[in-house]
Chains A and B, each alone.
Chain A
Amino acid sequence: KAGVTQTPRYLIKTRGQQVTLSCSPISGHRSVSWYQQTPGQGLQFLFEYFSETQRNKGNFPGRFSGRQFSNSRSEMNVSTLELGDSALYLCASSLGPDRGTTGELFFGEGSRLTVL
């Protein structure tokens, strides 16, 4: 079974640009969530999608947005990039928000964004 796939793995942007990251969940998983990982702030929750709907959102500015498609693939977008947006962006998938599931998330290898 293929794991969570994130593209691109590495990218470099300049301040003011925008970026779109993609995530393909494990087959059969309907929930996708995104996390930002930085040395200073650690791992922080960005948002979670299920059935094309955003269920929850972390404490990030509106420049960070996402969406989920009918095949459960997800994209996140960051507009007007700032230096502080340099981070590893991790996508995770799970079966979905049903009671009785394990709550376990399966992570991709991440997209390393550098903002110059």
Chain B
Amino acid sequence: AQTVTQSQPEMSVQEAETVTLSCTYDTSESDYYLFWYKQPPSRQMILVIRQEAYKQQNATENRFSVNFQKAAKSFSLKISDSQLGDAAMYFCAYRSPYSGGGADGLTFGKGTHLIIQP
């Protein structure tokens, strides 16, 4: 079974600065999806960014980018120009692709609580 580890329970950053959230995972598969989800205090989980394992190029979505190191099984999220609205729990998640054998849903890390200091 796959596992996802987020080693930072909580991170704090000054507004407008850059912060990097860490995520490592363990899998024997070669093809998979990786995600960062954001869960604000209102609780709805929102997709921040997605990475397909077969793509070597790191995904970028505006101020959010990832550093995907497949060999190291590392998938960190960088948030540039942090804003107060970025304050939330951030979850790293792994998903197997549908390849005939079914999938086990998303495997989540424990999450990182990101605090933005004004």
User: Measuring CB to CB, which residues of chain A are less than 8 angstroms from any residue of chain B?
Assistant: 33, 35, 42-45, 47-48, 55-56, 58, 88, 90, 92, 97-99, 101-110
Interface residue SS majority, chain A: strand
Please report the C-alpha to C-alpha distance between residue A33 and residue B103 in the assembled complex, in whole angstroms: 11
Are A56 and B103 in contact, with the CB atoms below 8 A? yes
Q: Please tell me if the beta carbons of A110 and B104 are within 8 angstroms of each other in the complex.
A: no
> B98 near A99 (CB under 8 angstroms)?
yes
Given contacts A101-B98, A107-B45, A107-B46, 8 further A-B contacts (CB under 8 A): A42-B108, A45-B104, A48-B105, A102-B33, A103-B33, A103-B35, A103-B52, A110-B43
Q: How far is the CB of A1 from chain B (nearest CB, A)?
A: 15
- Report how many A-B pairs have Cβ atoms within 8 Å: 65
A53 to B37, CA, bound (A): 27
The interface residues of chain B lying within 8 Å CB-to-CB of A103 are 33, 35, 50, 52, 95, 97
Ranked 8 nearest A-B pairs via Cβ? A45-B105, A107-B45, A97-B98, A103-B33, A43-B108, A109-B44, A42-B110, A103-B95
Contact partner of A42 (CB less than 8 A), chosen from B46, B52, B105, B111, is B111
Give the number of residues in B that approach A within 8 Å (Cβ atoms): 26
A56 near B98: Cβ-Cβ < 8 Å? no
Q: Is the CB of A104 within 8 A of B103?
A: no
B99: nearest residue on chain A (CB-CB)?
A: A99
Establish whether residues B102 and A55, one from each chain, have CB atoms under 8 Å apart when the complex forms: yes
| Residue B68 is within 8 A (CB to CB) of chain A in the complex | no
- Residues of chain A with a CB closer than 8 A to B80's CB: none
Would you call B91 and A43 a contact (CB within 8 A)? yes
A45 in complex: contacting residue of B33, B98, B106, CB < 8 Å: B106
